A and B are shown apart, each in its own frame.
Chain A
């Protein structure tokens, strides 16, 4: 498809027809998707409705982590403020709901728009810097938003806002029902992930990945590097905003804790855990992280010890995340 003469060093994993293309791996992902579709039925059959809510939460964080991986894994931009875009989306839903506007058709796109808008501003300034300094500036902007929201009494301040109901999408569907909500989330997350894959396999994604490998060369060839990176950063902000909007609905609550730096850190950990630069890295990382949390917390109150131990083992034995282990697990494409 494309010329692969762009220099690369960190490319790991099996050789692909083009190193810049990311296949969807239908043979593995279709069964996973079908399993996700069947999940509410299975949960109900086992009388464990509780897991439908857990699964919605996992999907929402999977989208947020995937959007971070989109700029981190493929654009080399380590955003340490990704929770801010998510939190902004959540507060969009919260504030609209407080004003009596419950339509998801208004709230969710607006959440994406605000996420994208804030990302555009943050990116426009932060992308002038490199490396650790980029990490710190994105963190700074996220912290500014965190403190601003926390000190606004109208936004509930420290206590946050409790949402009386979930957003409404019409068509006779009630998002207040956990199963309906789960299917809507599953549909949206799937669409977003397919959209991200499509973008990565398009010219835009190829340029982005080439910029990650060698920014100076790309700029010398004549690509507007800054604009490409800024566009990707903005798109990621939009996806994170949508994830935030769904999270607000899932937990019926928005609070400043959603924007704190530890949240941004956890999103980063999810991506690193799953595999930076793997198409499904963010999704897998979010799922493993949240499910580990869930399972360990059920057994012991000291679950953080177990979670920390698992993360440490993964970082020591699987340098590039869990998905880098897959080589032996299924045949090379």
Chain B
């Protein structure tokens, strides 16, 4: 274990955490404001990745593809909100689980019909394909650095949007107390369509940015959806700040755990135990983290509701 390894793992964790944050931000606002469990959030992430990949191939430019893909995903998200999800807001959580699970099944199948069952290739911009030497003896993939940069930028913009604008004020009011926000004159329905559009855009950015690292394929939204739920529960439902902190925590713990736990086990208990128990312990680390956080702070770290 040396400093370089730790630095590299931290950067990987930061990169993963920031992408998780993009997903968790939309999810937590939807959950916080409308009290809605949206299992189809991961589908928007998948649709975003497919859109970005398709437009990138069509235009030959990653950046143009990213922009168009995000726009297209916003359109899909708003359509979904206006046609189906809107009918589920006033229903109990279980109906929402079933309704959005149905959407999840259907979007998987529609994507399979349109794009086929084979994973899609999405290439990062050629200029960023190689590694960058950050300091002597330590180089890091340029594209991953870009993801970190974009993630930080989007997080900053989102923070400005939520804390410095009228829209953000209404969002925070809606998350803290929807009835009161409505009574004070916020148009919660329109507000919510906007929040949903924003959530879809963030999903598409995450999907598009992660696309070149992971395969763009059907079902890619499911595993990351659960992580996003873990993030918002750790952070406190409805809280952007909580989502950011939770996402970084989960990103770093998960990434670092996968490298460091087996190393630690090998040093202390020998290679046999490390090979067997190492990966297991690394995989369950974030769930242990979540259970521990909820045990001590049942409302998450930064609850929006009081």
Contacts and interface: CB of A to CB of B under 8 A. Distances in A.
B288 interface: yes
A308 B109 contact: yes
Interface string B214-239: 00000000100010011001000100
A78 B93 contact: yes
A202 B294 CA distance: 34
A72 B99 CA distance: 18
Contacts of B198: none
15 contacts: A125-B295, A132-B237, A133-B294, A136-B294, A137-B290, A140-B290, A147-B280, A148-B280, A268-B97, A269-B98, A302-B113, A304-B105, A304-B109, A309-B106, A311-B98
Interface of A: 72, 78, 125, 128-130, 132-133, 136-137, 139-141, 143-144, 147-148, 150-153, 261-262, 265, 268-269, 272-273, 276, 302, 304-305, 307-312, 314-316, 319
A151 B105 contact: no
Nearest to B283: A147
Contacts of B290: 136-137, 140
Interface of B: 37, 39, 84, 87-88, 91, 93-95, 97-99, 101-106, 108-110, 112-113, 222, 226, 229-230, 233, 237, 276-277, 279-280, 283-284, 287-288, 290-291, 294-295, 298-299
B98 to A, nearest CB: 5
Contacts of B99: 311-312, 315-316
A268 B94 contact: yes
Nearest to B37: A132
B288 to A, nearest CB: 7
A78 B94 contact: yes
B94 A272 contact: yes
A305 B105 contact: yes
Most chain A CB within 10 A, of B106, B112, B290, B299, is at: B106
Contact of A311 (B91, B105, B109): B105
Given A133-B298, A137-B294, A261 B226 contact: yes
Contacts of B294: 129, 133, 136-137
B57 to A, nearest CB: 24
